[in-house]
Amino acid sequence: MIHQRRFSVILVLFVFILIQSSAYLTTLPTLLSLSHSLLLRVAIARTSRNDLSGAARVRSIAEKLDFLRPRDGIWSLAWDYCRNYLWRGVGAGGIPMEELGTTVREIAIMVGEFVSLRSDRERAVWGVRNYGKVTARLKKVVSGLKLGFSQSGAVRELLLIIQKEIVEGDLVKDCLEIGSKDLEGMVRIAVDLFFSPSHFGTDRDL
């Protein structure tokens, strides 16, 4: 038991160093900046159509993303990691990273298709066929992440809010209509940062 705890401490330190690597420190802020900007634009659009409660919800998500910024949220993220990964019982479920990676890459492809369309009519037709598919995949990603972050904490709280907004608030539709290129960039950055095929020893790519 003591040896296991020592190993956990060493692993925590290793993870802490790893997530502060140059790739993390340069790429994650870009992802967070794009997310924050897009959410605020969605909030403005919802306010303009008098959806004040919807605007408040996405502003809340944008604010909660700030804790992930490397400069001020790294300890919160590391603590969540420790509680949800290292201090679990043997055999407990974790995040199915490879499965979620496949799903996120599928989302990236679908959003890329939407971005490539030029006319409002084409985008409307695409939306009828695919909004539900993108939403279902995003729900799957959030549900998978929740398997890992099963204990209460900043990350799980954020995931629950995002899940509710995806299901009840038409977040996917708003993001695609207001900032599809930003959304595509966000998804592709997430693929590279968290779900790169190299993490799983495969040759798959977008």
pLDDT digits over 116-132, tens only? 998 999 999 999 999 99
> In sequence order, which residues have a C-beta less than 8 Å from that of residue 1 and are 6 or more positions away?
none
**Cβ 151 vs Cβ 189: under 8 Å:** no
pLDDT digits over 66-77, tens only? 766 655 555 555
Above 90 in pLDDT, residue 96?
A: no
Above 80 in pLDDT, residue 82?
A: no
Instruction: Determine the pLDDT at residue 157.
Output: 86
Which is nearest to 108 in space by CA: 39, 44, 189, 28? 189
Beta-strand runs (E) in the chain: none
- The better pLDDT of the pair 183, 22 is held by 183
Place of tokens 């996405």: 58
CB atoms within 10 A of CB 147: 14
Above 50 in pLDDT, residue 114?
A: yes
- pTM of model > 0.75: no
